[in-house]
Amino acid sequence: METVWALLRRPPVQRGVRAAVAAGLAWQVAVLLPPLLSDYAYYAPLGAVIAVHPTIADSASAAWRSVLAILTGFALTVAVHEAARAAPSALTVTLIVALAVAVEQWRLWREQASWVSFAAVLMLTVGLDDPTAYVLRYAGLTLLGAATGVLVTTVLFPPLQLTRAVEQIARTRSALAAHLHDVAATLRDGRVPDPAEWAGRSAALDRALDRMRSAEAQVERARRANPRAHRWQGQAAGIREQSRALDRVAVLVDDLTSLVVEFAPHRHGIDRVDAGTGWVLADALEGLAGVVCTPHHRTDGTTTDERDERIATAVAALDRLVGLLRDSTVSDEEGFFALGAVAVGVRRGLMALGAHTRRAPVA
């Protein structure tokens, strides 16, 4: 049973269930209508499927935009056909399609733009014998189905898209931490990172960030007109906070990685055998990676947990890096300032992650 419920929490499965239920209900309602409409009941499930989207707001938007686009396509065909009765059929078809495609460029339609030309050609093909009846059947039943789709989306486990957002945030955390660990490993090996290699790695991290941003934006859209939104307000707010914190940290990490790759400050004049600049720098980056991977505390603060330990490790590594900078003799200004900028980036990253040492309450 737990497996079934876990499966039902998956957004694609939920959408499939909603689409199936909405299509069945729309068909059942349509066959109960007078024969003028019930003979074409199959148009209703089409409208239902059109209107079932990952969020209630998206479902409502798709429903009215699709129906309006269909009506526009129908009207366009009827108007052009009546105005060009004396023109050759090929010319009429060409003009209708050209105008329909031009109308589709309006931003009003969004993803439903193609319905204009589809409906225009459909009317031209099968609807001109009785345009009024065809509009009533096709557009009317599609509207009925779309309304059913929106209703089912609203009532049947209204989606908040939390599962996908949580997964994308976790994947982005892993990608960001792995990126930092890889840079640190290169520094420990005493190598100068190759710019081309790190450009490719940064591109992979950018893709993970894009997916996370998209998932977080979808959660925000899913909260609109959602009857369950208040129940999950805390979790949705947490997702937004985590996503935006990771986004800020990723920007900082991109900057400090560029500094390390471009200037290799650990190989410049401030490096000393006893200080081990490359290792100190690697410790700071790995400390930040550890905090990235441990976003939550597991205790109430009376005892330390893994996040407390990771924060303490990161702060200690950053303090060593700052101490190295303070004690260094500047013989290469470019390397010195690059290393200082990395230290600032690590500190700002820890601040963005809310990484502060908790103090146990006084008894």
| DSSP characters over 272-288 | -TTT-HHHHHHHHHHHH
CATH number of 298's domain: 1.20.120
Alpha-carbon separation of residue 290 from 181, 182, 238 (angstroms): 9, 13, 20
Question: Residue 321 falls within a domain, yes or no?
Answer: yes
Looking at the structure, do residues 25 and 81 belong to the same domain, yes or no?
yes
Q: Print the domain residue range for 150.
A: 2-155
The single-letter DSSP state of residue 353 is: T
Looking at the structure, do residues 242 and 112 belong to the same domain, yes or no?
no
The rounded distance, in Å, linking the Cα atoms of 13 and 83 is 48
Backbone φ and ψ of 80, nearest 5°: -70, -40
The 3-state secondary structure of 38-53 reads HCCCCHHHHHHHHHCC
The rounded distance, in Å, linking the Cα atoms of 165 and 171 is 10
Looking at the structure, do residues 82 and 97 belong to the same domain, yes or no?
yes
Last residue of a domain, one of 113, 135, 155: 155
Which residues, 6+ apart, have CB-to-CB distance to 5 below 8 Å?
A: none
Residue 316's pLDDT is what? 92
Cβ atoms of residues 163 and 219 within 8 Å: no
Which tokens hold the place of 151?
């209703």
**Considering just the CA atoms, what is the radius of gyration of the chain in Å?**
30
Tens digits of pLDDT across the chain (363 residues): 557 666 766 777 878 888 999 999 999 999 999 998 899 999 999 999 999 987 788 888 899 999 999 999 999 999 998 888 766 688 888 999 999 999 999 999 988 999 999 999 999 888 888 899 999 999 999 999 999 999 888 887 665 667 778 888 999 999 999 988 888 888 787 766 666 766 777 778 888 888 888 888 877 777 766 666 566 667 777 888 888 889 888 888 888 877 777 766 555 444 443 346 778 888 999 999 999 998 888 887 778 888 888 999 999 999 988 888 787 665 656 667 777 888 898 999 999 888 876 665 444
Looking at the structure, do residues 310 and 255 belong to the same domain, yes or no?
yes
Q: Coil, strand or helix: which one is 263?
A: helix
Distance of CA 259 to the CA centre of its chain: 29
Could you tell me which of 171, 173, 165, 186 has the C-alpha nearest to residue 310? 173
Question: Residue 253 falls within a domain, yes or no?
Answer: yes
Question: Residue 191 falls within a domain, yes or no?
Answer: yes
Question: Residue 360 falls within a domain, yes or no?
Answer: no
The rounded distance, in Å, linking the Cα atoms of 232 and 220 is 12
Which tokens hold the place of 71?
């009506």
Looking at the structure, do residues 192 and 110 belong to the same domain, yes or no?
no
The rounded distance, in Å, linking the Cα atoms of 60 and 240 is 24
Last residue of a domain, one of 132, 155, 178: 155
Residue 90's pLDDT is what? 85
Question: Residue 251 falls within a domain, yes or no?
Answer: yes
Looking at the structure, do residues 129 and 207 belong to the same domain, yes or no?
no
Which tokens hold the place of 312?
């303490």
Looking at the structure, do residues 189 and 267 belong to the same domain, yes or no?
yes
Residue 259's pLDDT is what? 77
pTM of the predicted structure, to 2 decimals: 0.63
Looking at the structure, do residues 194 and 59 belong to the same domain, yes or no?
no
Last residue of a domain, one of 131, 155, 179: 155
Looking at the structure, do residues 148 and 13 belong to the same domain, yes or no?
yes
Alpha-carbon separation of residue 271 from 7, 182, 264, 280, 339 (angstroms): 55, 21, 11, 10, 11
Looking at the structure, do residues 171 and 320 belong to the same domain, yes or no?
yes
> Which residue carries 């499927």 as its tokens?
49
Query: How many domains are contained in the chain?
Result: 2
Question: Residue 65 falls within a domain, yes or no?
Answer: yes
Residue 361's pLDDT is what? 47
Burial class (CB in 10 A: 0-12, 13-18, 19+), 356: exposed
The rounded distance, in Å, linking the Cα atoms of 102 and 180 is 49
The rounded distance, in Å, linking the Cα atoms of 268 and 333 is 9
Which tokens hold the place of 360?
């146990």
Question: Residue 307 falls within a domain, yes or no?
Answer: yes
Residue 112's pLDDT is what? 92
Maximum Cα interatomic distance, the chain, rounded to a whole number of Å = 95
Helices (H), 226-305: 233-263, 277-293
Question: Residue 359 falls within a domain, yes or no?
Answer: no
Cβ atoms of residues 276 and 288 within 8 Å: no
Looking at the structure, do residues 203 and 311 belong to the same domain, yes or no?
yes
Cβ atoms of residues 285 and 345 within 8 Å: no
Could you tell me which of 227, 206, 209, 342 has the C-alpha nearest to residue 278? 342
Burial class (CB in 10 A: 0-12, 13-18, 19+), 258: middle
Looking at the structure, do residues 306 and 167 belong to the same domain, yes or no?
yes
Would you mind telling me the total number of residues written for the chain in this entry? 363
